[in-house]
Amino acid sequence: MTIQPGDKVPDITLVRVCTNGPDKIATGAYFKGRRIVLFSVPGAFTPTCSAKHLPGFITEAEAFKDKGVDEIVCTAVNDPFVMAAWAKASAVDDRVTLLADGNGEFVRALGLDMDCTGFGLGMRGRRFAMIVGDGTVEQLFVEAPGEFEVSAAEYVLARL
């Protein structure tokens, strides 16, 4: 079943690469007491994700903070080293936090996984965004397959 507004974000371990190496993040504690905009992409370095999705959130990061968002988080079913390389290549700095969902456990727990084996990409996460307040989904924006509209930074920002 797909997560819905009013549901708690599942407590799953995601990973980010820091200066000291991989750092495990328990989503239950990470989202507690904060307002976070989370968006998910099918894969780092993929065309729409790299050309539009991530850049939109980087560009609008200050506007999100002005609307009371504590952090913007991007996740994908990629390993943490790929996510770190993508952050560096995209000049993310501290504007967006990239968290790896290497085994797809988080998107499966959200009910937002998809089978991309026909494209040689294995199991991935759907393209979506959500506004999370104190660990609870306030709003959820899930894209139709092949679309990029409702999870775009500008669309989410307009709903805050």
List Cα–Cα distances, 117 to 41, 101, 121, in angstroms.
16, 17, 5
List Cα–Cα distances, 14 to 53, 62, 114, 142, 143, in angstroms.
20, 25, 18, 20, 22
List Cα–Cα distances, 34 to 18, 83, 120, in angstroms.
21, 23, 37
Token pair for 16 = 């980010």
- Which residues are known to be catalytic? 49
- The whole-angstrom separation of Cα 142 and Cα 129 is 7
Query: Residue 93 — left, alpha, or beta (φ > 0 → left; ψ -120 to 50 → alpha)?
Result: left
